[in-house]
C-alpha cells in the first residue's frame, strides 16, 4: 500500500499556473525528485544531458560539503500524476488580527503514486544527491521547492515542456563583473573590492571603472574589459583589476585559488599585502603611471591626447595592462628573470602607445586601438622578446609574426632585440 506524504505549503497563482511553495528536506529531495530527462525520450540524448549536469555540479557539491554558510535557491519541481490533494487550513483568530494572512496556506497530500522531477535547479539537485552520499547528515537540511502539476497527456507534456523552456530561456546568468561585486567566497573578488576601498591610488573616485552606465532607477551596467577614450578618471575596470590580481598571485597560499570557499582572514590579509606590493611596483615600472595620472586633471589627456593620440600612455589601456601582467607572470614562472629584474627591463621600455611593442595593438594611421585576439596575442609575444628573449630564433619568430599580423616591419631591429637575450647566468 502506497504511503501518503504530507507537506505544508502555500498555494499561489501566476498566469495560468497554480503552484505550491513548500519546504522539503534534502533527504526527501534526493530520494524522491528526479531529473526531467529521465522521463523518456532519446536515450543517447538523455545520457549526454546527464553527463553535462554531472560535469558542472562539482563546485556546488563541494560548497554544500565544506561551507558553513551554504544556501541554495529554490527548486522548481513538477509532480507527475496530476494535482495533489490540497487542504486549506485556517488559523483560529477570533479577534480578526490575522485576517487575510492565512489565505492560501494548507497541506499537500501525495498518495504515493506521484513522481517528482526538477524543471529548474537540476545542477543543484545533482549536487544535493551527491553531497548526501558523502555527508548523510545534510539530509536534515531544508530547501524551498516550488511545485507545479504535470499531466502525462499530449497537452500536459507540451504545457510542462513550455514551462521548462521558458524558465531556462529567461534565466539570466550573473556577469563576471556582478560576481566580482558580490561574491563573498572568491578570494580575488574579495581582494578586488578591498583595493577599491582601501588602496591609496585605486580607491580614488572613478579610478577603477565599475559601471559602464551608472545606476539609474535600477537600470545599470557593470564595466567589463574596456574604458572609453574620453573617461576622465579611470585607470582600469573592476573586471580587469580582478584578472590582474589573479595573474599576479603566484606563490601565494593555494587556498585563494579555491573560488568556492572563502580563505581565512590571515590568508586574505597576507595575499592582499603581497598583491598591493606587486600592483604598485608594476605601475611604477610602467612609466610611473599612477603618479602621472594623479597629476593629470583629465585622464583622457594622458590616454589619448587630442591630435596626438600616438603619445598616449599605453598602461591606461586595459588590453596593455593584462598583457603586461601576463608576460611578467610567465617570465617569473619560467625562472627567466626574477620579479625585480623583469621590472627593471619593463621600466626601460618607451611608454608611448605608438612605439614598440604597444604598436601591436595600436594603429598610428588612424589612432585606433586594435584589440582582436591575434593582436593581443601578438602584443604578449613582442613584449616577451623585449623583456626576456631566450634566443635569436625566438626574436626572429616574433618579428615574423608581427609582419604577418600587421603587414609591416617591426620598428625595432633584430640586432637591437638580440641585445636583450638572456645569458645562461641570468
**What confidence tens digit (pLDDT) does each residue in 55-114 have?**
568 888 988 998 888 999 999 988 876 567 888 877 776 666 666 665 678 888 877 777
Output the CA–CA distances (angstroms, integers) from residue 36 to 16, 59, 123, 154, 164, in the order listed: 21, 22, 12, 16, 9
pLDDT, residue 5, reads 78
With a cut of 70, which residues of the chain have pLDDT below it? 1-3, 36-56, 81-83, 93-103, 152, 157-158, 161, 165, 168-174, 213-221, 424-426
Using CA of residue 126, residue 128, residue 134, residue 139, what is the dihedral sign? Answer: negative
pLDDT in tens, 116-128: 888 888 889 989 9
C-alpha cell of 160? 510542462
Listing DSSP states for 365-412 in one string gives: TTTEE---HHHHHHHHHHHHHHH----HHHHHHHHHHHHHHHSS--SS
Using CA of residue 308, residue 310, residue 311, residue 317, what is the dihedral sign? Answer: positive
pLDDT, residue 168, reads 66
Please tell me whether the overall predicted TM-score, pTM, comes out greater than 0.85 for this model.
no
**Could you give the CA distance from residue 414 to residue 260 in angstroms, rounded to a whole number?**
47
On whether the CB atoms of residues 325 and 275 are closer than 8 A, the answer is no
**3-state class (DSSP) for residue 318:** helix
Amino acid at each position: 500500500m502506497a504511503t501518503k506524504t504530507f507537506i505544508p505549503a502555500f498555494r499561489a497563482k501566476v498566469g495560468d499556473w497554480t503552484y505550491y511553495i513548500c519546504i522539503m528536506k534534502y533527504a526527501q529531495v534526493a530520494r524522491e525528485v528526479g531529473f526531467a530527462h529521465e522521463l523518456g525520450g532519446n536515450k543517447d540524448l538523455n545520457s549526454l544531458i546527464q553527463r553535462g549536469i554531472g560535469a558542472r555540479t562539482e563546485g556546488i557539491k563541494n560548497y554544500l560539503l565544506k561551507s558553513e554558510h551554504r544556501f541554495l535557491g529554490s527548486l522548481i519541481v513538477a509532480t507527475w500524476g496530476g494535482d495533489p490533494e490540497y487542504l486549506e487550513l485556517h488559523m483560529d483568530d477570533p479577534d480578526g488580527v490575522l485576517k487575510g494572512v492565512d489565505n492560501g496556506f494548507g497541506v499537500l497530500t501525495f498518495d504515493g503514486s506521484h513522481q517528482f522531477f526538477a524543471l529548474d535547479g537540476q545542477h543543484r539537485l545533482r549536487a544535493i544527491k551527491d553531497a548526501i552520499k558523502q555527508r548523510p547528515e545534510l539530509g536534515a537540511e531544508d530547501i524551498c521547492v516550488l511545485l507545479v502539476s504535470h499531466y502525462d497527456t499530449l497537452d500536459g507534456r507540451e504545457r510542462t515542456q513550455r514551462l521548462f523552456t521558458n524558465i531556462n530561456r529567461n534565466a539570466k546568468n550573473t556577469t563576471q563583473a556582478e560576481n566580482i561585486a558580490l561574491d563573498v567566497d572568491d578570494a580575488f573578488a574579495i581582494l578586488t573590492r578591498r583595493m577599491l576601498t582601501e588602496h591609496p591610488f585605486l580607491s580614488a573616485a572613478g579610478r577603477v571603472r565599475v559601471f559602464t552606465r551608472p545606476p539609474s532607477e535600477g537600470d545599470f551596467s557593470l564595466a567589463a574589459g574596456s574604458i572609453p577614450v574620453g573617461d576622465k578618471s579611470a585607470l582600469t575596470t573592476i573586471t580587469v583589476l580582478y584578472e590582474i590580481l589573479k595573474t599576479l598571485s603566484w606563490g601565494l597560499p593555494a587556498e585563494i585559488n579555491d573560488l568556492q570557499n572563502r580563505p581565512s582572514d590571515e590568508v586574505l590579509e597576507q595575499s592582499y599585502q603581497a598583491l598591493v606590493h606587486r600592483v604598485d611596483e608594476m605601475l611604477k615600472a610602467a612609466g610611473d603611471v599612477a603618479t602621472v595620472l594623479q597629476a593629470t586633471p583629465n585622464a583622457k589627456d594622458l590616454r589619448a591626447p587630442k591630435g596626438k593620440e600616438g603619445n598616449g600612455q599605453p598602461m591606461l589601456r586595459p588590453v596593455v595592462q593584462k598583457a603586461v601582467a601576463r608576460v611578467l607572470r610567465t617570465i617569473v614562472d619560467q625562472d627567466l628573470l626574477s620579479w625585480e629584474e623583469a621590472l627593471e627591463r619593463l621600466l626601460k621600455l618607451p611608454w608611448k602607445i605608438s612605439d614598440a611593442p604597444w604598436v601591436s595593438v595600436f594603429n598610428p594611421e588612424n589612432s585606433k586601438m586594435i584589440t582582436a585576439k591575434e593582436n593581443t596575442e601578438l602584443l604578449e609575444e613582442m613584449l616577451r622578446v623585449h623583456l626576456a628573449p631566450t634566443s635569436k630564433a625566438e626574436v626572429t619568430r616574433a618579428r615574423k609574426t608581427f609582419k604577418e599580423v600587421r603587414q609591416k616591419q617591426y620598428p625595432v631591429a633584430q640586432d637591437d632585440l638580440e641585445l636583450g637575450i638572456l645569458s645562461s647566468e641570468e
